């Protein structure tokens, strides 16, 4: 179940989505195809999943290339837009290979910027609220420079994304590349990975299984949760905004709530008998997180529209199928042979 939001039609574009088989990237692919774009999805399937794009594989305007953005790539023919979502985004995934995470953020962004520059394409970097670290300013506006521990276990992601933003603006200043930078706050919805360690997916899966709900820390730390359809609409609006709008632009829901409160909301929506189980807070875990979205409101006319309860119902419906075993299961059938690390991934013009 996905909540649809009407998106204005624009001229057909040829768009590359890096990390397009992931949670947010696959929703972007859906949206772009619905508006009539030709979409080239690239993903190394490290955290992305073929199941997220399987319905698109036979679409005449969609092509998939299994490729790691840490390696250079070529795209034959014109290219109008590049979305960069290519990076593990949950702590268990990005901490599993911290050096690989940093390389994806830096080398991957550099390779995509080179491609965008060669093709005179506009590029959007999916940055993150993690660039603010464990913030000392609350709520967080875009001009806050952050409070990040450069040597902590989360630094590979936090600092990697900060470096990616630096590259984006350096390419704009040096080469005139058309850039957009979105700082994405906590997002939830269908296609989240069941074991990605994020708050909403963890709570829903545990509640559906009747297992204790794991709450780290006191449960008083806060987050702001944005439904994926709201986020995708904001990303598209940012990408298609005037050239002068570069960002960074916070995209997230300014409704702040405690971790314990979201856990109890999940229990209500699932009608689960699970209990709360409190565990120590992980190192450098942010205590408060809430975006200032006045820039998005002023420049894009964007703000979230989907209430938490409605978004949770859609997300719970998705995970209910996964937990019950009625969703896709077993080893994934990869639609294309893995590209060698030294090869160039080439997508031909239709």
| % of the chain exceeding 90 in pLDDT | 81
The pLDDT value given to residue 349? 42
The band of 332, judged by pLDDT with boundaries at 50, 70 and 90, is low
SS3 content of the chain, % helix, strand, coil (to 5): 35, 15, 45
The pLDDT value given to residue 4? 46
The pLDDT value given to residue 286? 81
- Supply the angle between the helices 199-209 and 308-324 in degrees, to the nearest 10: 60
Instruction: Answer whether 317's CB lies under 8 Å from 1's CB.
Output: yes
Instruction: Answer whether 284's CB lies under 8 Å from 234's CB.
Output: no
Q: What is the mean pLDDT of residues 187-192?
A: 96
| DSSP reduced 3-state for 215 | strand
Alpha carbons 249 and 181: distance in angstroms, whole number? 6
The pLDDT value given to residue 6? 43
Q: Is the pLDDT of residue 262 over 70?
A: yes
For residue range 158-175, list pLDDT tens digits in order: 999 999 999 999 999 999
Instruction: Answer whether 38's CB lies under 8 Å from 15's CB.
Output: yes
The pLDDT value given to residue 17? 98
Alpha carbons 50 and 53: distance in angstroms, whole number? 5
Alpha carbons 122 and 112: distance in angstroms, whole number? 11
The pLDDT value given to residue 325? 73
Instruction: Answer whether 129's CB lies under 8 Å from 39's CB.
Output: no
Residue burial 109-135, b: 16+ Cβ < 10 Å; e: rest: bbbbbebbbebebbbbbbbbbbbbbbb
pTM: 0.90
**Cβ within 8 Å of residue 246, ≥6 positions away:** 169, 172, 179, 180, 181
For residue range 204-224, list pLDDT tens digits in order: 999 999 999 999 999 999 999
Which member of 83, 132, 157, 188 is catalytic? 157
Instruction: Answer whether 24's CB lies under 8 Å from 190's CB.
Output: no
Burial of 206 per CB tally in 10 Å (0-12, 13-18, 19+): buried
- In eight-state DSSP terms, residue 152 is S
For residue range 283-314, list pLDDT tens digits in order: 877 888 999 999 999 999 999 999 999 999 99
Q: Is 157 a catalytic residue?
A: yes
The lowest-confidence range among 8-22, 58-72, 178-192 is 8-22
Q: What is the mean pLDDT of residues 71-87?
A: 96
The band of 350, judged by pLDDT with boundaries at 50, 70 and 90, is very low
The band of 324, judged by pLDDT with boundaries at 50, 70 and 90, is confident
Q: Is the pLDDT of residue 346 over 90?
A: no
The pLDDT value given to residue 44? 97
The band of 269, judged by pLDDT with boundaries at 50, 70 and 90, is very high
């Amino acid at each position: 179940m996905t909540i649809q939001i009407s998106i204005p039609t624009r001229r057909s574009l040829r768009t590359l989505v890096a990390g397009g088989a992931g949670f947010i990237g696959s929703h972007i692919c859906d949206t772009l195809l619905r508006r009539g774009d030709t979409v080239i999805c690239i993903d190394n399937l490290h955290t992305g999943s073929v199941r997220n794009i399987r319905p698109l594989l036979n679409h005449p305007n969609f092509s998939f290339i299994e490729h790691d953005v840490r390696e250079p790539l070529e795209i034959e023919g014109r290219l109008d837009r590049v979305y960069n979502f290519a990076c593990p985004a949950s702590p268990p995934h990005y901490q599993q290979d911290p050096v690989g995470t940093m390389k994806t953020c830096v080398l991957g962004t550099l390779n995509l910027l080179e491609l965008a520059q060669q093709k005179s394409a506009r590029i959007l970097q999916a940055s993150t609220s993690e660039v603010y670290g464990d913030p000392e300013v609350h709520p967080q506006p875009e001009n806050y420079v952050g409070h990040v521990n450069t040597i902590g276990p989360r630094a590979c992601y936090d600092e990697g994304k900060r470096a990616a933003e630096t590259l984006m603006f350096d390419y704009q200043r040096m080469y005139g590349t058309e850039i957009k930078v979105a700082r994405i706050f906590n997002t939830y919805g269908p296609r989240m990975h069941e074991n990605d360690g994020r708050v909403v997916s963890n709570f829903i899966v545990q509640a559906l299984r009747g297992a204790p709900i794991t709450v780290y820390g006191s449960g008083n730390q806060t987050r702001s949760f944005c439904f994926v359809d709201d986020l995708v609409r904001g990303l598209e609006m940012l990408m298609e905004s005037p050239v002068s709008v570069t960002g960074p632009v916070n995209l997230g829901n300014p409704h702040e709530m405690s971790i314990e409160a979201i856990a109890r909301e999940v229990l209500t929506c699932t009608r689960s008998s699970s209990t709360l189980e409190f565990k120590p807070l992980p190192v450098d875990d942010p205590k408060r997180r809430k975006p200032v979205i006045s820039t998005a409101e002023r420049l894009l006319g964007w703000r979230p529209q989907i209430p938490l309860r409605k978004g949770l119902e859609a997300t719970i419906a998705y995970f209910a199928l996964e937990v019950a075993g009625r969703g896709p299961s077993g080893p994934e059938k990869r639609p294309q042979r893995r590209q060698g690390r030294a090869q160039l991934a080439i997508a031909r013009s239709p």
